[in-house]
């Protein structure tokens, strides 16, 4: 007997699991592109933060999801993300937003230039900019939560180290966060 549900069956089970907040999805064989889909349901912030001071962001690099809670718990958002291409490029731990930029300028990091010396040294804001329309700079050097012009990257291991969001999602998150927002990557 085939235990892999049809797409419709998968979506029915997924919807039921999300509505009930149960881990039932872990029992379903998820398509290869969607890993650990049960993690896409609302997470609880308490295991990762001692308070919601300044709001909090939890990035789950396995499920490729970003969770945001406002300081007063009135707002919870969940966004699909792109994550670093490899484990070597993946950073985990605690950080915070130290700067916010609309229309960021992109510059390749030294390690990017070592891998590809032909990269442009600067890409100004605009449709060719890999940082998309908005960027949240973290206390870790060269690490950002930012938009992307290439929406095919979302849901994949495709970045050179940062966390990428659809431009419409980073614009919304940009408006919800402030300098000092706590960030944890797991």
Reported pTM: 0.75
The pLDDT confidence band at residue 152, using thresholds 50, 70 and 90, is confident
- Please confirm, yes or no, whether 134 is among the known catalytic residues: no
- The confidence score (pLDDT) of residue 40 equals 53
pLDDT computed for residue 41 by the predictor? 54
Split at pLDDT 50, 70, 90, the class of 178 is very high
Question: Residue ranges per domain, the chain?
Answer: 1-41, 42-185
Of 67, 134, 162, 169, the active-site residue reads 162
Q: In angstroms, rounded to a whole number, what is the distance separating the alpha carbons of residues 92 and 157?
A: 15
Tens-place pLDDT, residues 107-132: 999 988 999 999 999 999 999 999 99
Q: Give, for 76, the enclosing helix (H) or strand (E).
A: strand 76-80
Q: Measuring CA to CA, which residue among 44, 42, 52 is closest to residue 183?
A: 52
* CATH code that applies to domain 42-185: 2.40.440.10
Pairing relationship of beta strands 144-148 and 83-84 according to DSSP bridges? unpaired
User: One of 67, 134, 146, 169 is an active-site residue; which one?
Assistant: 146
% the chain with pLDDT above 70: 77
Q: What is the pLDDT of residues 36-88, one digit of tens each?
A: 434 455 678 989 999 999 999 999 999 999 999 999 999 999 999 998 888 87
pLDDT of residue 24: 27
- Rounded Cα–Cα distance for residues 168 and 56 (Å): 19
Which is higher by pLDDT, 32 or 170? 170
**Beta-bridge mates of residue 86:** none
* pLDDT tens, residue by residue, 78-106: 999 998 888 877 889 999 999 999 999 99
CB atoms within 10 A of CB 185: 23
């Amino acid at each position: 007997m085939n235990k892999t549900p049809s797409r419709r069956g998968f979506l029915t089970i997924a919807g039921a699991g999300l509505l009930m907040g149960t881990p039932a999805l872990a029992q379903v064989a998820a398509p290869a592109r969607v890993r650990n889909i049960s993690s896409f349901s609302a997470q609880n912030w308490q295991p990762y933060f001692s308070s919601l001071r300044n709001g909090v962001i939890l990035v789950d690099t396995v499920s490729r999801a970003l969770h945001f809670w406002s300081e007063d718990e009135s707002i919870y958002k969940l966004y699909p993300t792109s994550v670093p291409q490899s484990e070597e490029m993946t950073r985990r731990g605690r950080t915070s937003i130290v700067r916010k930029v609309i229309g960021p300028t992109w510059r390749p990091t030294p390690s990017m230039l070592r891998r590809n010396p032909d990269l442009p040294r600067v890409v100004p804001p605009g449709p060719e900019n890999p940082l998309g329309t908005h960027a949240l700079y973290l206390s870790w050097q060269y690490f950002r939560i930012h938009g992307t012009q290439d929406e095919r990257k979302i849901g994949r291991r495709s970045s050179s180290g940062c966390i990428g969001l659809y431009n419409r999602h980073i614009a919304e998150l940009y408006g919800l966060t402030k300098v000092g927002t706590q960030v944890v990557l797991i």
